[in-house]
A = this chain, B = another copy of it.
């Protein structure tokens, strides 16, 4: 019977990794998870499919266009496009069962039907943490998150990165004091481009909005403050802006900075950046962006902020929160694409057992002993010459190979070959186990340093 062969193809915009890349990706994901749990965040795993009216309660514009929405039977469904809306749903739905402040992390895939282009994914992992208060939430929570960011990126192997911090109340207060509240969105849009178009062009754009020169000067003076954390606060005080929102923002920023340091973030890893606004209508206080100093062109690798009301579309309860998110798929793509990191492991096995004998009882027994002793072990059981078996070991870059031949079986030993150094020795299986345990202890000691 002739069959139609369908050429298999993964959809564009959907990340699919080879095993060595997947191992690295999973390692990063695990490190992020461990770091989040170190701060006592609770795991959450909400459905990928939700009712469209729930997901879109707040959305509009771009989100609405990008969303994967469809019907099944009579249900109007959609795939989640972030992890914040599902959190709002969750907190409202299970409010009675949760303890506040509710601290949760969620690491999962979200979906946006964006134009496919390099590094833009339609399915991608977000790694979120949020702290949700019931009615109110102390500013010290805002200071704890930079510590989570710091720990997480240290765990991921980075030293040189900067957590940039701002407070939306400063910007809002500044605009209020200038009677520019109604134009604030337009002004922020112009400021947001400063990295791309430069200060002068920003001034020109703001001018076009018909804003008086003295006000423009004040705005530019504000966003031009770029100095140490202490001096920034001093400079902000010197601006002498008489506005309650501004004053509150300044007090929050001072408190924030004090506690960020106590929470162990070195001064070299955070700064105040008064140009950061992050979205127009969501964040209400502290905002964060994080940049890898040597790879600033990657954009922010971890962002977030404080919001007044997580679930206003689902409940009358006031649930303020503060959160951050790492876009892991995008980050992973950028880091590997730019050769900043690369896969260094092609196998989950520590050792591969191969042999030159017909009956595989002994190799199977050896593999089982190793596994029972906690050593990840693979056994090659196909009929193949020893050369082909070694080729397989090499292709998987297994750290160790155990070879079993007639001699070893007679001697009650195995040949253990270190595939990196080429070193080979004949050992009893007990000696092999001890060797792996010793190495394991050594590695643990290194990790604890």
Does A217 reach chain B (CB closer than 8 Å)? no
For chain A residues 255-310, which have a beta carbon within 8 Å of chain B? 258-259, 262-264
Number of copies: 2
CB distance B45 to A22 under 8 Å?
yes
Q: Say which one of A90-98, A161-169, A200-208, A230-238 lies at the interface with B.
A: A90-98
For chain A residues 369-405, which have a beta carbon within 8 Å of chain B? 371-372, 374-383, 392, 395-396
CB distance B70 to A70 under 8 Å?
yes
Given A40-B377, A72-B113, decide whether A313 and B99 contact each other with a Cβ distance below 8 A. no
Apart from A5-B315, A19-B44, A141-B381, what 6 extra A-B contacts exist at CB < 8 Å?
Answer: A38-B374, A39-B378, A40-B377, A47-B123, A99-B392, A147-B371
CB distance from A22 to the nearest CB of B (A): 5
Does A220 reach chain B (CB closer than 8 Å)? no
For chain A residues 62-110, which have a beta carbon within 8 Å of chain B? 68, 70-73, 75, 77, 88-90, 92-94, 97-99, 101, 103-104, 109
Q: Say which one of A50-58, A185-193, A334-342 lies at the interface with B.
A: A50-58
Bound Cα distance A33, B367 (Å): 19
CB distance A348 to B40 under 8 Å?
yes
Does A158 reach chain B (CB closer than 8 Å)? no
Tally of A interface residues using CB under 8 Å: 108
- For A101, list chain B residues within 8 Å (CB): 380, 382
Does A196 reach chain B (CB closer than 8 Å)? no
Does A138 reach chain B (CB closer than 8 Å)? yes
CB distance B377 to A39 under 8 Å?
yes
Does A209 reach chain B (CB closer than 8 Å)? no
Does A37 reach chain B (CB closer than 8 Å)? yes
CB distance from A103 to the nearest CB of B (A): 7
Bound Cα distance A104, B381 (Å): 16
